[in-house]
Amino acid sequence: MAAWSCLVTGAGGFLGQKIVHLLAEEMELQEIRVMDIAFKPELLEEFSKLQSKVKVTVLEGNILDIQCVRQACQGTSAVIHTASIVDFNEKREDVIMNVNVKGTQHLLEACVQSNVPIFIYTSSLEVAGPNSYKEVVQNGHEEERRETIWTDPYPSSKKIAEKVVLAASGWTLKNGGTLYTCALRPMYIYGERSQYLLSDIKRALNNNGILDSFRQFSIVNPVYVGNVAWAHILALRALRDPKKAPNIQGQFYYISDDTPYQSYSDLNYNLSKEFGFSISAGISCPLFLLYWLAFLLEMASFLLSPIYRFHPPFTRHIVTLTNSVFTFSYEKASRDLGYKPLFSWEESRQKTMEWIGSLIKEHKTLKRKMH
């Protein structure tokens, strides 16, 4: 097999970092180009340690900069596109749409111009929903063709971008070759360095170790970050295989693992109970009331918009997302990509707990210094 190279966008992110580390183990890989708007010094140090295995080229740049994107793609064999803006407070609607949709289009066009034949897109479960907290979806699958109804910037931008990516499969490259694309839709991703988990734990640390119970009505199948990264590696291998690629191009895959089905609140509790954390025992508001309160807050935001920008603390989309029964099978990924979770639930839990332990230690040290 000839030497090859891969560009990873969003390489400074929670998932991107894991993908880069797993990529470094791939056969005949000559170069990994890591691209992000900025990298933390400690991450650059981590990446420099990989130089003994593979050449790591750091590219700081914006995917909205066409010139920068073209240079990043030049002479590359594949693109793994994880870069996107996730903002559930929807404070930057135009930025979210631009980065998530236009940025993806820029990358696809650059692949055509630079003859990059493989494009793997990190999509989102939110492309599929949930659309109603009353609807129960258990072990959903790709053939159901579910689609979000929400017009909030994040789910709608991911839905549009995924469609663009899948429609680009089969495009003719400048040199006459063919572009092969596919998309992966991970469940809610947890693991060390998760920004959501970080904010949940920090809130609990400032509240005597009591975790929020806002999301207790959900039943989901969260997925460990290492397993999502592994699915990207397997998709890359499959698209590089001339026999497998035709069956995979233009397809999307749900990515879950063997983490037990549970609510978001229970996941946080199961990852932190050994440190003495507990779930808030407060009286929970009935879901229908929460939903209509969100509606009223959205109406207030709309009516005030000509004179004042009011961002509701939560929306109907957030209430639905965090309180639905919404689980999916990884059977298709297993069949087509040969995907099997690389990390068991026990390993995933252990790795995440060790990280939570380090956060608690940091918090205690900071408290001591303040006193």
Q: Which residues are catalytic?
A: 154
| 360 residue type, one letter | I
ω into residue 41 within 30 of 0, thus cis?
no
Separation of alpha carbons 9 and 65, rounded Å: 13
Number of Cβ within 10 Å of residue 328's Cβ equals 26
Sort strands 325-328 and 219-220 into parallel, antiparallel or unpaired.
Answer: parallel
CA distances from 254 to 144, 214, 370 (A): 12, 26, 46
Residue 74, token pair as written in the block:
């030049």
